[in-house]
Amino acid sequence: MEAIKRKKLRERIIENFFLICACVAVISLLAITFFVFYNGLAPFVSNSYSLWSFLTGVEWRPGSNLYGIFYMIVGSVLATFGAIVIGVPVAILTAVFIAEMAGSQAGKVIRFAVELLYSTGVVLFVFIMIINLIVNRIVKAKVGR
């Protein structure tokens, strides 16, 4: 009987710990979202910069109060479309091959390779972020900011 009470208490403590972690994550996400929107909307509210000029402008010169992201939008759409055109057929054909044609041993090897490629992308993304942070610190140290 005492062991059951201890187990329930331990489960309740762990549940509360995870609830606190989830609340901290949500509050952090909301704070970041608020910060980004607050600082991102400043040029539109204080300087009366139009949203249409922002979306259709082709020059990006913050010193001159020119903020145009049209080329950024077009580049993102084209990169996404290119990734879809290349990635979807490869993914579908690989899934069909693994499910229907590959034997159990070959299927295991291919599944492992696909999982390895997936995790490599995540690790590469984290590595790029770390390099970006290091470069930013070096540049700030050299410039003297």
What is the residue-averaged pLDDT of the chain?
85
The answer to whether position 40 is within a domain reads: no
Residues in Cβ contact with 54 at an 8 Å cutoff, skipping those fewer than 6 apart: 44, 67, 68, 69
In a domain, 116, yes or no: yes
Of 34-38, 127-131, 140-144, the poorest mean pLDDT is in: 140-144
pLDDT at 142 over 80: no
Helix (H, G, I), strand (E, B) or coil at 139: helix
19-28, 37-46, 102-111, range with greatest mean pLDDT: 19-28
Instruction: Identify the pLDDT of residue 89.
Output: 94
Side chain identity at 122, as an amino acid letter? V
Which amino acid, one-letter code, is at 27?
I
Residue 111 lies in a domain: yes
pLDDT of residue 32: 94
* Domain assignment of residue 91, yes or no: no
Residue 78 forms part of a structural domain: no
Mean pLDDT of 52-62: 85
Longest dimension (CA), the chain: 74
Q: Is residue 122 part of a domain?
A: yes
In a domain, 106, yes or no: yes
Half-sphere exposure of 139 (CA within 13 A, CB side): 6
Reported as a single tens digit per residue, the pLDDT across 61-113 is 877 777 788 999 999 999 999 999 999 998 898 888 888 877 778 878 888 88
pLDDT value for 131: 87
| 86 falls within a domain | no
Residue 108 belongs to domain spanning: 102-145
- Give SS3 for 61: strand
Question: Would you state the pLDDT for residue 5?
Answer: 87
Q: Bigger pLDDT: 63 or 23?
A: 23
Domain count of the chain?
1
3-state secondary structure of 68: coil
Phi/psi class of residue 65: alpha, beta or left (left: φ > 0; alpha: ψ in -120 to 50)?
A: left
